[in-house]
Structure 1
């Protein structure tokens, strides 16, 4: 790559989800972009056009997309390669960072091959937990969902795993060996400053009442009916307890139905989506944070909760066990047992016990501060750039550029061929959990 002078990097990111979508990947990309720019790097994000997107978006390029794919919150980008190549050449990137292994992830791979740039991929999502959004959900579709990101890593110079669990799972599935653990960071200082008294008053929650909270997309893959069952058991036992749910989605009706059946619906409060300070204040209105998802690559909302001083009660799953230390910053549930979950929540209806766990929660959150996490990400970028050497196809003539684009298409065809071999193999689907997974037989 031609040196640009100074230590700042030009970083080109591709993501299929971005604001106004509320979710882990969208939030992670936005936070990483902001932190990198604050540290003197240039960042350009390529994302789908979406209804409700901000009118003025510095350093963001939008491409056409089909909205709300199959009833989900996600959009399917329809890239316009010619225009994107013009943007890329004008931006003159040092490195490309892809946040998905398909759609705009394919475009990222094409651009990296065309311009001789290092390609970094962050494995944000366990896609096998999301196949119910696709018509014809089946074991074969789940094999495809496992194969897609695994094979995509082989197109990349380096891969980022948000947690040790995901790193180990990727290695067991036969992914690229160059995997680095870099969690998505949280602005811990900002989350530490909030006031939940106004929200409590609005919802009719008394100052001394016990509030169990949850934040996130209300999607069925988040194991929310089970969470609602556990928390409503607590509410039936303790008349001073409330359940505060921040977020929205298709599982809201199921959670509400559980509360109605338990006869505690008046103490289950749904706020809908909250942003910025309103979200932080909602965390501060809680006494403890409850989480039941098995589909996380990183428990970012757990870190947000801990940054506000909340102890966490959660199931033992990927992305959770790296954050939650049982008895130190919260309580870790060994399996999905609603009665045990309710017992753990009840045990924290004690201000003194919560105060002990608060110190551990704040210490844990400090380890995930966005400044530290961004520094680790930059280190991955610099190693990949150094390994790639001082060459870029951006310096070639028109004919070499065409050959490079053909080479990119060939790489993607090989990528799809390997995926098909996974999909049509006769072996059972690789297990979701790290300790039960195995690499595919080649």
Structure 2
């Protein structure tokens, strides 16, 4: 099968979506499928990479790590036609997601969309952040699903949320996979602990992820530092980087425990795996996850998890079995849970259960489920046969793509105005009716 993927984030960006796309691509290729990834040009990208098309992009959009793609249609469509895809998989509902939808319509190909992100938690990266912008993000992602033949949700929580919002009902739950065998093998005590100056016998609570505003890290830092005050032999290991790092450091300094809080910066490959193995317990507080892939990575490394209940978290953690799940952001409760897992015998039982949980999220299982979604979407068929249609069919496809994108944006606008008390919804309805085909 020839699989064409569109993603706004890819290496060298370190993050959930980027890692998910890379892992899926690699696994599918290992199973004999061809995969081509369309993604923005980014500073620090690999010099030589295969099966990747980079499109022009504005770097570090609004001060973030992300790039704003500006695809050049002629060059991109030449690459698509040469690749001759059987299906298109979009990993975002905007920017290159729009390009994916246009390409699918142009060539009469099935379009699959993975809803990786709760986009309303990320609107602070866009100028003019406001409740209206959050509603826009929700409407954009929800309406995008109706352009697609199939939708993938990384967890049951996200599937249920999308259905409540009125998304396309053709949703299949397929978590992002993890190479569990690889994450099971690490030597944290002799590498990362020694590097950070953490004693071999210390009890280490760890966290891995982007240190970003949407990850609820001030709360996590408050809870961890309260635990450190009560547990003199404890250490807190933080892997990742971002704007929240200074906030977390300030919290630790105010509590007088900064010498036992260790920031490693971004880690990748075996060094990242070794960092997991340098921990005894994993702590997590984000409310913005669709799956929380780092939870599976931590469990594959044999770690129990203490986390706040949220979407993408409750599907992984079984309270009292492979970790502890808190109902809300309670600093004292989180600190107490971290202390509870300091009991070696209690933690040992949870470590075994955590490893068993991770096995269900192995990337081979997840790739197989994703392939089944592809096959079902292809079996449904489309308006045209394939990318080798004649010139007129391609022109008609391009026109149809632009028409459907216009309707898509109209539905997003209508959805927004329905929430506005002074909006003129009738005017929007009339405008859409006036632009309908005669």
TM-score, L = length of structure 1: 0.94
Pick closer, same or farther for the CA change 1:389–1:108 going to 2, 3 Å.
closer
Pick closer, same or farther for the CA change 1:257–1:310 going to 2, 3 Å.
same
Q: Residue 323 of structure 1 is aligned with which of 278, 299, 316? A: 316
CA distance in 2, matches of 1:247, 1:395: 45
Q: Show the 5 A alignment for 1:402-441.
A: 402-426=395-419
Decide whether the 8 Å contact of 2:108 with 2:383 is kept in 1: no
CA distance in 2, matches of 1:392, 1:20: 36
Pick closer, same or farther for the CA change 1:64–1:389 going to 2, 3 Å.
closer
**Structure 1 partner of 2:36:** 44
**Structure 2 partner of 1:281:** 274
**Structure 2 partner of 1:380:** 373
Decide whether the 8 Å contact of 1:213 with 1:290 is kept in 2: yes
**Structure 2 partner of 1:53:** 45
Q: Residue 230 of structure 1 is aligned with which of 215, 223, 230? A: 223
TM-score, L = length of structure 2: 0.95
**Structure 2 partner of 1:292:** 285
Deviations 1:77-114 (A, max 9, x none): 00011111111110000000000000100000000000
Is 1:219 the counterpart of 2:212 in the alignment? yes
Q: Residue 142 of structure 1 is aligned with which of 131, 134, 140? A: 134
Decide whether the 8 Å contact of 1:329 with 1:357 is kept in 2: yes
Gaps of 5+ in 1: 1-8, 429-442
Q: Which SS does the other structure have where 2:325 is aligned?
A: strand
Q: Which SS does the other structure have where 1:29 is aligned?
A: helix
Is 1:69 the counterpart of 2:61 in the alignment? yes
**Structure 2 partner of 1:432:** none
Is 1:159 the counterpart of 2:151 in the alignment? yes
Q: Which SS does the other structure have where 1:336 is aligned?
A: coil
Deviation at 1:351, TM superposition (A): 1.3
- Deviating beyond 2 angstroms after TM superposition, the runs of 4 or more aligned structure 1 residues are 389-396, 424-428
Decide whether the 8 Å contact of 2:109 with 2:387 is kept in 1: no
Is 1:23 the counterpart of 2:15 in the alignment? yes
**Structure 2 partner of 1:357:** 350
Deviation at 1:389, TM superposition (A): 6.1
CA distance in 1, matches of 2:251, 2:379: 55
Decide whether the 8 Å contact of 1:114 with 1:393 is kept in 2: no
CA distance in 1, matches of 2:143, 2:134: 14
**Structure 1 partner of 2:117:** 125
Q: CA RMSD in A?
A: 1.1
Deviations 1:142-183 (A, max 9, x none): 110100110000000000000000000000000001000000
Q: Residue 24 of structure 2 is aligned with which of 2, 7, 32? A: 32
Is 1:190 the counterpart of 2:182 in the alignment? yes
**Structure 1 partner of 2:77:** 85
CA distance in 1, matches of 2:73, 2:271: 39
**Structure 1 partner of 2:427:** none
Deviation at 1:137, TM superposition (A): 1.2
Q: Residue 108 of structure 2 is aligned with which of 103, 116, 137? A: 116
CA distance in 1, matches of 2:52, 2:419: 43
Decide whether the 8 Å contact of 1:141 with 1:423 is kept in 2: no
Q: Which SS does the other structure have where 2:185 is aligned?
A: coil
Is 1:367 the counterpart of 2:360 in the alignment? yes
**Structure 1 partner of 2:92:** 100
CA distance in 2, matches of 1:155, 1:63: 23
CA distance in 2, matches of 1:30, 1:397: 33
Deviation at 1:131, TM superposition (A): 0.9
Decide whether the 8 Å contact of 1:306 with 1:364 is kept in 2: yes
Gaps of 5+ in 2: 422-438
Residue range with higher mean Cα deviation, 153-162 or 380-389? 380-389
CA distance in 1, matches of 2:33, 2:11: 21
Q: Which SS does the other structure have where 1:413 is aligned?
A: helix
Deviations 1:234-274 (A, max 9, x none): 00011100100000001101111110111100100000000
